[in-house]
């Protein structure tokens, strides 16, 4: 499996990129950075996009992506998300007001994108991968994902406050190679973290106590201006599994 990090807020590079992963060149997980990180040639190879939730930093390049691939693909690209998330995309984004409705362009029978409902805990088989959404605890309906091929697995928690199920799933995945987890605000902003359903480094520490696996845990979603206070707070966890996810990281198993 090849996992390419297209963007993860809080990365060191100038020009912030937002959340997005690419697996085997064919499946995008979240769409915060597709068009910023990939050439059009690479974008055209994406056949499936799994969206964790409707917040802008996870979907904002979907419109430009649909425009870029228009006319270059044989089949519609499938946009997989919870029904509540797809509803937001339909009503507030691809509504002909903010962006044309590419689910009926060029025609309803031959669209550029197709919406597909997903259900937590059900496995979806695409591009030789098995992708299982796991519900997490965020301000809007949100899922993390377990992504597996026949050999290896990784887990992306997406945005979440305190949660249990995704850690149970991680503990029950024998071939787990990596967890990508969030920490969004420094410890001093615990009230903001609670109100927006995110984690601070201290809260992440409590979450990681639930993870009984010795695998790398790469942290994403730091608010860029808060890197300086957050780095020592992450180090203070004294958890050797923890490091920051790098915007352009490529992981191959």
* Contact positions vs Zn ion (CB under 5 A): 55, 57, 159
* Paired tokens of 176: 């787990």
As measured in angstroms, the least distance from the Cβ of 61 to Zn ion is: 14
What is the closest distance, in whole angstroms, from the C-beta atom of residue 159 to Zn ion in the complex? 4
d(CA 212, CA 62) in angstroms, rounded, equals 36
Report how far apart, in Å, the C-alpha atoms of 202 and of each of 157, 161, 195, 198 are: 17, 12, 16, 12
Query: At a CB cut-off of 8 Å and minimum separation 6, what does 47 contact?
Result: 26, 27, 75, 77, 78, 126, 127
Of 195 and 236, which has the nearer Cβ to Zn ion? 195
Based on CB atoms, which residue is closest to Zn ion, 177 or 198? 198
Q: Looking at beta carbons only, is 1 or 180 nearer to Zn ion?
A: 180
Q: Shortest approach of Zn ion to residue 193 CB, angstroms?
A: 12
CB-wise, 55 or 80, nearer to Zn ion?
Answer: 55
Nearest 5°: the CA angle 50, 167, 133 is: 20
115: enclosing H helix or E strand: strand 113-117
| Min separation Cβ 32 and Zn ion, Å | 8
């Amino acid at each position: 499996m090849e996992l390419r990090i297209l963007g993860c807020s809080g990365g060191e590079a100038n020009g912030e990129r937002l959340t997005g992963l690419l697996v085997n060149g064919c499946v995008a997980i979240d769409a915060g950075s597709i068009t910023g990180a990939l050439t059009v040639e690479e974008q055209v190879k994406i056949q499936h996009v799994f969206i964790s939730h409707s917040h802008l930093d996870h979907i904002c390049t979907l419109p430009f992506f649909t425009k870029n691939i228009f006319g270059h693909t044989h089949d519609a690209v499938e946009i997989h998300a919870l029904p509540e998330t797809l509803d937001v995309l339909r009503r507030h984004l691809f509504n002909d007001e903010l962006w044309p409705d590419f689910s009926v362009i060029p025609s309803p029978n031959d669209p550029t994108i197709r919406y597909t409902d997903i259900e937590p805990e059900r496995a979806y088989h695409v591009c030789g991968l098995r992708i299982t959404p796991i519900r997490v605890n965020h301000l809007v309906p949100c899922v993390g994902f377990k992504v597996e091929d026949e050999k290896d697995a990784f887990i992306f928690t997406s945005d979440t406050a305190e949660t249990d199920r995704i850690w149970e799933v991680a503990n029950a995945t024998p071939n787990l190679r990596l967890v990508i987890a969030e920490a969004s605000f420094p410890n001093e902003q615990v009230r903001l973290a609670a109100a927006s359903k995110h984690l601070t480094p201290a809260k992440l520490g409590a979450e990681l106590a639930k993870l009984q696996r010795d695998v790398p845990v790469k942290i994403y979603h730091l608010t860029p201006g808060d890197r300086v206070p957050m780095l020592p707070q992450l180090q203070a966890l004294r958890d050797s599994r923890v490091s920051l996810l790098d915007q352009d990281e490529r992981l191959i198993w």
